[in-house]
Amino acid sequence: MRTGVERIRAVAVLPALAIGLALVLGAVIMILSSPLVDGFDLTLPVTAYQALAVGAFGSGNALVSTLVNATPLILAGLAVGIGFKAGLFNIGAQGQFLLGALSATIVAIALNGASPAVAIPLSLLAGMIGGLAWGFVPGFLKAFTGAHEVVTTIMLNFVAIQLVSYVISGPLRGAEVTFARTDDILAAELPILIGRDGHFGLLFAAVAVPLAWWLLYRSTIGFEIRTVGANPDAARYGGMQPKWITILAMSTCGLLAGTAGAGEILGEVGYMPASYGTTVGFDAIAVALLGRAHPVGILFAGLLFGAMQAGAGLMQVQAGIPVQMVSVLQAVILFFLAAELIVRRVLRIRAPGTGVEAELETVSRSYGEQTSR
């Protein structure tokens, strides 16, 4: 048995290295592009990263802003991570997030005159069900027709965008708004807990992480999910029903991403626009991979990406570095994680045997086999 510290070190060393290498590469890009910013400047990365850190951790409000940004990333990250454990690649967190946001908005607008004690729980529930439904469909199609979830979830993301556009610019368009959006959500607005905008939704992520951990590692269903993910045939021989586990896992993913969407609308935005620009569903893939599909890992990865998003604004103002640098950093982190084998060989790190590759063994390799489970 390895001790706890050794285990943490074995799991965390590669993500930490990936983050470090990404920061270095980000600095190189900043220096090379500095003539476009304000003349060639070797110290630009220092100014930029300093602003990024201050914007993310420099004050009480900055810390709260980090938490607010991290919350949907953690929830949607769990939605992708649980999929990985079940051997499913959920590219559809984006669509599930949108459906959660849309369903919560529909109920919240309908209950605008009601008391918050009724409106808040019902709107949240609607968001969860909306996300769940958008996760159920690809799960069902995978289980019973063999349609690969990567493609169906990508398609459903775009269907979700059109659906949101229709509902918000049509039946739900507000009475006194200048662009296509709903009226303000009143009764179902989540209360502020801490700081300027630390809303009640922060607690969803705080609750979801231990719950997901319990589900995966302490419950029978979680055991079945992980077994189906590792080897559907063995699971079938063991008396499990991979079809239903697949549907259950995808639905759970949808529920989590839907909760993230509901939380964003009810806690952060306060209304729903017809074209809701968000990349949370794709960032969630990065979060789940960086967190090695483990709930605790996803918590830290979500906090890291949340901090980067929170600090990006100050970085743009103080150092003139566009916020898109954050996406570049995320992609580079993922790149070094994906190239794990090579990074290990070059840096001579021993394999911890808990790589995310092991989790993904059945994911993209099953892409061509459209066999039902």
Partner 1 sequence: MDAIFDIPIIGVLIQFVVYVIAALPVVAPTIVAAATPIALGAMCGFMNGRSGVVNIGIEGMMLTAAFVAWWSASLAAQVVPNVGIGFLGITLPLLIGLLAAILAAMAVSAVHAWLSISVRADQIISGTIINIFAVGITGYLNLLISKQSPPSAGQFQALQLPGFIVNVPVLGFLLKSLIGVGPIGLTMLISVIVLQVLLFRSRWGLRTRAVGEHPKAAETVGIDVIALRYRNVIVGGVFAGLAGAYLTIEFGSAFQGEMTAGRGFIALAALIFGRWTPVGAFGAAILFTASIGLERSIRFAPPEGQLGEWLTAVPLQFYGALPYLITIIVLAGVVGRSLAPAAVGRPYERESKAA
Spatial contact of 257 and 75, defined as CB atoms under 8 Å apart? yes
Q: In whole angstroms, how close is the CB of 274 to partner 1 at the nearest point?
A: 10
CA 103/CA 174 separation, integer angstroms: 16
Q: Quick one: 61 or 327, whose CB is closer to partner 1?
A: 327
Q: In whole angstroms, how close is the CB of 15 to partner 1 at the nearest point?
A: 14
Spatial contact of 313 and 48, defined as CB atoms under 8 Å apart? no
Q: Quick one: 92 or 198, whose CB is closer to partner 1?
A: 92
Q: Quick one: 176 or 369, whose CB is closer to partner 1?
A: 369
The DSSP bridge partners found for residue 199 are: 192
Q: Quick one: 84 or 204, whose CB is closer to partner 1?
A: 84
Q: How many CB atoms lie under 10 A from the CB of residue 319?
A: 24
Q: How far is CA 330 from CA 137, 184, 322, in A?
A: 29, 33, 14
CA 4/CA 13 separation, integer angstroms: 14
Q: In whole angstroms, how close is the CB of 60 to partner 1 at the nearest point?
A: 29
Q: In whole angstroms, how close is the CB of 298 to partner 1 at the nearest point?
A: 16
292 closest CA partner among 329, 334, 231, 348: 334
Task: For 77-95, give one letter per residue: b (16+ CB within 10 A) or e.
Answer: bbbbbbbbbbbbbbbbbbb
H or E element at residue 333: helix 325-338
Residues contributing to the site for partner 1 (CB under 8 A):
29, 33, 36-37, 89, 91, 141, 145-148, 150-152, 154-159, 162-163, 165-166, 170, 279, 282-283, 285-286, 289, 321-322, 324-332, 334-335, 338-342, 357, 360, 363-370
Q: In whole angstroms, how close is the CB of 338 to partner 1 at the nearest point?
A: 4
Q: In whole angstroms, how close is the CB of 368 to partner 1 at the nearest point?
A: 4
78 closest CA partner among 197, 191, 207: 207
Look up residue 114 and give its DSSP letter: S
Q: In whole angstroms, how close is the CB of 232 to partner 1 at the nearest point?
A: 16
Q: Quick one: 234 or 341, whose CB is closer to partner 1?
A: 341
Q: Quick one: 167 or 240, whose CB is closer to partner 1?
A: 167
Q: Quick one: 120 or 160, whose CB is closer to partner 1?
A: 160
Tokens of 75: 């929830």
| 3-state secondary structure (DSSP) of residue 370 | coil
